[in-house]
Amino acid sequence: EVQMVESGGGLVQPGGSLTLSCAASGFAFADYAMNWVRQTPGRGLEWVSTISYSGGATYNEESVKGRFTISRDNAKKMLYLQLNSLKPEDTAVYYCNSVIAGYPYWGQGTQVTVSS
């Protein structure tokens, strides 16, 4: 079945960096756009970034402001999100997501906590 498994979250100080990964399986990864979405109790679900099947990237500039970079490795069926200059407001559960055959699929999420 379709499966997406996030990893790489953790506790980091403000200004620090993390790399999040999403391992995909069970579908033709190279044919689909992939998304990163994050969730907080206060703001709910918030779109972070999208990468096309060919590697073109878009970002939520209000949230990211040039600090994050999305990438993918189609041969490895991996999606990445590089988080730099992290702020406390980046604290959230980060999910990878894709719409496959018209149905949205989600990973289980990975927790990012930015705190001193």
pLDDT digits (tens, 9 = 90+) for 23-77: 999 999 999 999 999 999 889 999 999 999 999 999 999 999 899 999 999 999 9
DSSP 33-95: -EEEEEEETTTEEEEEEEE-TTS-EEE-HHHHTT-EEEEEETTTTEEEEEE-S--GGG-EEEE
Confidence of residue 21 (pLDDT cuts 50, 70, 90): very high
- Contact by Cβ (8 Å): 63, 44: no
Specify which residues 21 forms β-bridges with. 7, 80
Confidence of residue 85 (pLDDT cuts 50, 70, 90): very high
What average pLDDT is seen over the chain? 97
Res 41: pLDDT: 86
